[in-house]
Amino acid sequence: MRRPAPAPSDGPDSAVWESPADFLRAFADHEDTDPRYLAWDDFRFRREPGALTVEQQWSLVRFRRRSTARALPQLVDEHGHAFSYVLADEVLQLIDHIRGAASGEITIADEVTHTGSRNRYIVSSLIEEAITSSQLEGAATSRMVAKEMLTSGRSPRTRDERMIVNNFRAMQQVREWRSDDITPDRIRELHRIVTDGTLDDPAAAGRLQVPDEDRVAVWSPQGELLHSPPPATQLPERLERLCQFANGPRPGEPYLPPLLRAVAVHFMTGHDHYFEDGNGRTARALFYWVMLREGFWLTEYLSISRLLKAAPSQYARSYLLTETDDGDLTHFFIYNLGTVRRAIEALHEHLARKSAELRKVKAAMDARHGEFNHRQLTALEHALRNPSAVFTVHSHATTHHVSGESARKDLADLAHRGYFVQRRSSKHNEWRPTPDLADQLGAPTA
């Protein structure tokens, strides 16, 4: 990872032009046909026919962008310069796609639309987000071990496992706060949840950095300074401004589409680095909060961090492109909106697969219609796909968001009818599928 190349000067007075008149003549004749919204770091490798140098082409493109940019006066850098954005075609297309898929009605097969399945998918996405958001910041716990820990309810054994548990609790808390205003106190509380038991100085949890301590910064593995956040003296005011911005425009303030506002809050939390550690996890949790607050209900089913983790350097680069291109948030918008779009597409693909699997299992059980409730059906399906699966009251209750008593009755009934075997471990009862479960159900194993 490296800092993007600094852009040359642009505009009529740029040194790449012999005179402002040359710039104006070129500007009148120039038409940029490249639909991509490139930063200079990528633009400099572009080659187009004609007499203009790549620096001159950049000067024209950047000047045109400045003329259509929309400033966000609530969001400023440490020198008071406002961040801005351009409603480029790519941004508009992504907004339309996501707005329709994440806040409107979508068509999903009946097998995955009842309350029990919705709860299960939400819990599954919260678990996935908790794991991958922690892994983005260095947690080394494997996905399998982390998922077992969260579903079984066992206590974390390492700092990395504690990070994952904290993230899961933070995501659950955001769901509860979804209709509330975002305030500095709530953000500090969110940070306390995210960092509980993981900081060298426990007193730093939920506390903004102060002027008499070393300011956190972002460095590359090679030792290059990538990002130096604003001084700690500015943090209380900056956090207050962020909250006002996150809650929506007040009279007289410029309008920003809610989807872009959520992404901008994500950016500013990472840019400002309010806390000693855990800023990235807090930023991603805040993004979910703003999305849910604005009615993008499908966000509950998405794991954004899973896709960010697949290309962490591109995620970090989207920050740097904005910071090195005069605060142009368009770069961060395009990358992160694209991530949301891919997460929605992955969800639809997952639901299609799950629907097909459920139909196969249900077809094999048609002769016993009504014998199982939807939670038992899910447990049997999981057992068919994972013969070594272990079920507990806690894991079953957590997965389906039901009481422990309902979970116990489900599992005890399956054991009574011979599908599961109940054993007592050192601390609790466990249920495992019988070796001949597939034969008993007449269902294909997945």
Would 87-348 and 372-441 be classified into the same CATH topology? Answer: no
**Domain 372-441 is found in CATH 1.10.150.20:** no
**Residue ranges covered by each domain of the chain:** 1-68, 87-348, 372-441
What is the 8-class DSSP label of residue 250?
P
Find all residues with CB under 8 Å of 389, minimum gap 6, and list them.
382, 383, 432, 433
Q: What pLDDT digit, counting tens, does each position of 221-232 carry?
A: 888 999 999 999
Taking alpha carbons only, the member of 306, 287, 297 closest to residue 346 is: 306
Ramachandran sector of residue 270 (left: φ over 0; alpha: ψ -120 to 50; beta: rest): alpha
Q: What pLDDT digit, counting tens, does each position of 12-63 carry?
A: 888 888 888 998 888 888 877 788 999 999 999 987 777 788 998 899 899 9
Neighbours of 26 (CB within 10 A): 17
Query: Is residue 279 scored above 90 in pLDDT?
Result: yes
pLDDT band (50, 70, 90) for residue 111: very low
CATH of 87-348, one of 1.10.10.10, 3.10.20.70, 1.10.260.40, 1.10.3290.10: 1.10.3290.10
Matching residue, tokens 């019988």: 434
Q: What pLDDT digit, counting tens, does each position of 319-376 carry?
A: 999 999 999 999 999 999 999 999 888 888 877 777 776 677 667 766 666 788 989 9
User: Whole-model pTM?
Assistant: 0.81
